[in-house]
Amino acid sequence: MSDPDPRLLQRCAQRRAELAARIAQAGGGVAVLATAPELMRNRDADYPYRHDSYFYYLTGFTEPQSMLVLAVRADGSHHATLLCRPRDAEREIWDGVRFGPDGARERFGFDAALPIEQADAALPELLADAPSLWWPFALQPGFETRVQQWLAAVRAQARSGRRCPALQYDLCAVLDEMRLFKDEVELDTMRRAALISADAHRRAMRAAAAARTAPPAAGLREYHLEAELLWAFRHGGAQAPAYGSIVAGGANACILHYRAGDAPLRAGELCLIDAACELDGYASDITRTFPVDGVFSGAQRELYAIVLESQQAALRAVRPGARFDDPHQAALRVLAQGMLDTGLIARDVAPDVDAVLASGAYRRFYMHRTSHWIGMDVHDCGDYGEPGEAVAEQPDGSRRVPSRVLRAGMALTIEPGIYVRAADDVPAAFHDIGIRIEDDVVVQPDGCEVLTADAPKSIEAIEEWMRD
Ligand code: GLY
Ligand code: MN
Ligand code: MN
C-alpha cells in the first residue's frame, strides 16, 4: 500500500466533476461503479489482482471489493462515497495493509466512505429519490442483479414516499468518451510504460544475439526471450505484462494469437515479439520482428521493407482531422503494392493495387486491422465511429458509421504486418515468414507522437543493435 500520487488524485476529482456535469445535463442522478472481482486460478490460488479500469479512472483506488457512488444534483454539485474493505488486523497479516474507509476518504479525497459490507443497506438509501441511475451495462456478471435488488428495496419504500430512479443510463458510454482523450498525467505514464517496453525489446534482441556465441543449454527457445522481457518489465518498475507476451519463432509468427512457447529459435529464421508492460494501470503494446541470428536474409529483408514502409505510411496518416481508418488505408496500399511486387499476389488474380484492395486479395496475408485505441486497456475503450455521423455505405458494400475523426489526445497503435503460410501458389522463399511492426502513438495538435520509438525498427538499426 503506497500513498496515491497527488497529481492522479487531482485528475480523478476533476474526472468525477466532469462526469457529474454530464449527469447534471440529464437532470441529475446517481452513478454506481464497482471495481473488478478477485478471481481464483485453481483451488485457493488466485490470479494477480487487477482493478477495473473505469473504477481506477475515477478513483485512483486499487483495492479489491470497492465501489464508488457518485450522487449528482441537477446543478452539478456532487458527493462521492467510496465503499471499501474495513481495516482488519487479522486479514491484513495475510493479505496486506488496507486503507479502510476512513483512510481512503482522507487520502483519496472522497466526501464519505463506508465499509463494503454495508453496500446493500446503503445503496437503496443513496438511490432513493434520484431521477436517474448510471451504471456500467453488461460489464460485470452479477452486477445487474445487485442493481435490481437495490431498486427493489427502494420501491418497497414507495408508501413512505420514496421514489425509484425512473431512468437508467449506461455509465460506460460516458466514460468511454472521456477515456478516449488522454490527459498529460496519463500520457506521462504511457510514455514511461513505452520506454520500459522498448527497453525489454532491446534486451530480448541482445539476448538472441548473445546466444550465437553462448547459447542456453537447451538451445535458444521462445521462453528464453520471454524471460528477458519479463525481467525488463519488472526491473523497469512495471507491475505486469499488459497482455500475454507473444514470442514466435519462424512459422509461429503466422499464428496471430500465438503465445511465448518452447519452440526453438533457429538461426536463419525471424522471431516476432509482441509484448509490452502495464505501468501504474496503463498499457503499452509493441511488436518487433528481427532475425534470430541478427542478419536479415534476402527474402526476409524484402518483406520486412514492405511492412516497414507500410507502417511509416500509416504513421504519416496520423494527425488531427484525419480519420481513424486513414492509417489503415495508407498501410494497405503499400502492402498491396508489395504483395504484387513480390509475387505473393499473382497479377492474374489482381492486376493492380486497386484490384487487390477491392477484391480483398490482401487479406490472405494481412488479415487484421492496423490500429486500436490504447490506454488503460491494451484494446482500450472508445467509439471507433464518429459520434453524430450517420451510417454510410462503404466502398465494399458494407454499412458502417464513418470512422472516428482523430483529435489531439487520442492514443492508438499502428501495427501492419504480412503473414505468409506455406502454399504451392506462393513463392517458396517467403514461406512461413510472419512480420509485424507495432508502435503506440498519440495524436498531437501538430501530428503524431510515437511513444515506442526506442525499440529498434529499421533493418539497419536492428542489425546494428544485434551486432555488438
Ligand atoms: N498485443 C495485442 C495487439 O497487438 O493488439
Ligand atoms: Mn496492438
Ligand atoms: Mn501488440
Residues 172 and 191 grouped into a single domain: no
Residues 427 and 296 grouped into a single domain: yes
Nearest protein Cα to ligand 1, atom 3: 285
Residues 245 and 342 grouped into a single domain: yes
Q: For residue 260, what pLDDT is reported? A: 86
Q: How many domains does the chain have?
A: 2
Average pLDDT of the chain, as a whole number: 96
Atom of ligand 1 nearest to the CA of 287: 4
Give the range of the structural domain holding residue 368, as residue numbers without chain letter. Answer: 184-467
Q: Which of 163, 179, 195 is the last residue of a domain?
A: 179
Residues 295 and 330 grouped into a single domain: yes
Residues 270 and 402 grouped into a single domain: yes
Strand 40-42 relative to strand 45-46, pairing: antiparallel
Q: Measured in angstroms, how far is the CA atom of residue 9 from the centroid of ligand 2?
A: 29
Q: Which of 150, 179, 208 is the last residue of a domain?
A: 179
Long-range Cβ contacts of 455-460 (<8 Å, 24+ apart) = 455/197, 455/198, 455/201, 455/202, 455/286, 455/288, 456/201, 456/202, 456/205, 456/288, 456/290, 457/288, 457/308, 458/308, 459/296, 459/301, 459/304, 459/305, 459/308
Q: Measured in angstroms, how far is the CA atom of residue 337 from the centroid of ligand 3?
A: 24
Q: For residue 1, what pLDDT is reported? A: 64
Residues 62 and 158 grouped into a single domain: yes
In sign, the C-alpha dihedral spanning 180, 185, 187, 193 is negative
Q: Measured in angstroms, how far is the CA atom of residue 373 from the centroid of ligand 2?
A: 8
Residues 60 and 102 grouped into a single domain: yes
Q: For residue 285, what pLDDT is reported? A: 98
Q: For residue 390, what pLDDT is reported? A: 84
Atom of ligand 1 nearest to the CA of 379: 5
**33 within domain boundaries:** yes
Atom of ligand 1 nearest to the CA of 276: 1
Query: Model's pTM, two decimal places?
Result: 0.96
As a whole number, mean pLDDT of residues 92-109 equals 96
**20 within domain boundaries:** yes
| Ligand 1 pocket, CB under 6 A | 243, 274, 285, 372, 378, 415, 438
Task: Give the percent of the chain with pLDDT over 90.
Answer: 95
Q: Which of 144, 161, 179 is the last residue of a domain?
A: 179
Q: Measured in angstroms, how far is the CA atom of residue 366 from the centroid of ligand 1?
A: 14
Residues 260 and 289 grouped into a single domain: yes
Which residues have a catalytic role annotated?
44, 257, 274, 285, 368, 372, 379, 415, 419, 436, 438
Residues 341 and 377 grouped into a single domain: yes
pLDDT tens by residue, 362-420 = 999 999 999 999 999 999 999 999 998 888 777 778 787 789 999 999 999 999 999 99
Q: For residue 388, what pLDDT is reported? A: 87
Nearest protein Cα to ligand 1, atom 4: 285
Residues 130 and 205 grouped into a single domain: no
pLDDT tens by residue, 174-227 = 999 999 999 999 999 999 999 999 999 999 999 999 999 999 999 999 999 999
What CATH number has the domain bearing residue 265?
Answer: 3.90.230.10
Residues 204 and 149 grouped into a single domain: no
Q: For residue 40, what pLDDT is reported? A: 96
pLDDT tens by residue, 310-339 = 999 999 999 999 999 999 999 999 999 999
In sign, the C-alpha dihedral spanning 47, 52, 56, 60 is negative
